[in-house]
Amino acid sequence: MKIHSIKYLIIAMVLAVPFSSCDDFLDVNTDPNRVTAVTLEALLPTTIEATSLSHYRAANDISEITQQVGSYFAYPEFLTLTTTWSNSYLKALSNLNELVKKAESESAPYYAGIGKTLQAINLGLLTDSWEAVPFSEAFQGSDNFTPVYDSQEANYNTINSLLDEAISDLQTPESVFIPGDDDLAYGGDIEKWLKLANTLKARYAIHLSNKNGAKANTDALAALVNGMESNDDDFQLDYNSVNKNPWHTSVALANNTGNLTIAQGSYFVDLMKNTTPDGDPRMAVLTDAEGIAFPDIIGINSFDENAPANNTDFSESTWHSTESAPILLVTFAEAKFIEAEAALLDDAGRAYQAYLDGIAASMDKLGVDGSAYLADPAVAVGAGNLTLAHIMKEKYIALFLNPETWVDMRRHHYDTAVYPGFVIPDPLGNIGGPIERIRYPNDEFDRNGGEVAKNNKPQTERMWRDQ
């Protein structure tokens, strides 16, 4: 994907300035009229950048729960993701609310469709983290300082409605207003936004596998017919030497200077080490263990004080933490693994081919040769031997540092038949089980305490989606 003009990233940063002091103070009722003078061309890059940042901030903590990463200090007893909450509402959804209203008032269906797609992604991240969250009353300004927390069921209905409307908008034959370089993801390619919206329909369909049973599979496969077709369709934000990747600035550079944060998790590293005799070729770019033979690479374990010390880390050269690395939000590889899971029970041949295609897409994305790995009997198991565990293991690796992995683990109830060897930590004996939800930010207890009281649940209680 080409890196588009950095002037739009500069606009995004300028528009974010009024919110920059609000990361620890959230009012989801921020007056939406304050940016009415801003053009569609200025709003769009702002919302894409904010969406990417929300996913980074969520993944930084959530990836500890999935054990794709581990902390140098301790396994988290509880997470509030305060900056994810505030960034999603103040910088992403507030501007998206204005973008969609402005686009509809100015008869700009492509901008409206893009805006609704981004609204769906952000609402999905929020409800998949907290379950009940504000949306229907969230942007009424001074008319409502205590917006209702919509149930997860209501939020999923909203997500699907937004995506249906987005698809309709994006299928409009023509529009006077057409995005260009202000579209930091696709450069104004409306067909790619259409593929993204349909792939998201598949994502949120498979999320409801516990609620809808076989219908979740049918709905996902139907949406994928019009979904992503190659890595060229990946929804990502590319960074550069001016606007640097946050994994680079906040993790790799911090670790390099001794301000230790997180590193690749032992469960993640062991999966790549132990699948085939020669190891997973992606390990060479996803870890930084120069001079260490792959069987001797050790990931970090933050919940077992007797575990050996890690010898790999995020660095300026690991794939996700170079200064210009993209943040991957939705990928073709994810789409293929959704297809593999959805087809597994009724069409083993289709499921197996999608499984292989997902692995190949991941290898190609990272620029490594996956031919030997794909040919190994431990991977090339054949359609008749393919299991859910094969699919989810490969999806877990391909979606490294993506919050979506946590959704998968929860809807499969952390089952060790699906995730062999996964240990649910409880180092201090006070968590009481696997983490199922994020704790509401502390400020929300004061600001909208009535709604928090109605919806606050133990972190070990499964969400509506997973029951």
Tokens standing for residue 210: 């516990």
What's the topology of domain 7-230+430-466? 1.25.40
Phi, psi (degrees; rounded to nearest 5) at 250: -100, -15
pLDDT of residue 432: 72
243 and 47 Cβ atoms separated by less than 8 Å: no
pLDDT of residue 427: 58
pLDDT of residue 430: 65
102 and 145 Cβ atoms separated by less than 8 Å: no
Tokens standing for residue 125: 């991240």
Q: Angle, to 10 degrees, between the axis of helix 388-398 and the axis of helix 404-411?
A: 160
pLDDT of residue 200: 99
Ordered by start, the domain boundaries in the chain are 7-230+430-466, 264-310+332-398
This prediction has a pTM of: 0.92
Which residues, 6 or more positions from 246, have their beta carbon under 8 angstroms from its beta carbon? 53, 56, 57, 327
Cα angle vertex 119, ends 115, 123, to 5°? 175
Which residues, 6 or more positions from 330, have their beta carbon under 8 angstroms from its beta carbon? 121, 196, 199, 200, 203, 228, 234, 235
Which amino acid does the sequence have at 49? Answer: E
453 and 447 Cβ atoms separated by less than 8 Å: no
441 and 80 Cβ atoms separated by less than 8 Å: yes
Tokens standing for residue 72: 């140098």
pLDDT of residue 6: 44
374 and 360 Cβ atoms separated by less than 8 Å: yes
pLDDT in tens, 363-409: 999 999 999 999 999 999 999 999 999 999 999 999 999 999 999 99
pLDDT of residue 18: 37
CA atoms within 13 A on the CB side of 260: 13
pLDDT in tens, 317-335: 999 999 999 999 999 999 9
Low-confidence stretches of the chain (pLDDT beneath 50): 1-33, 35
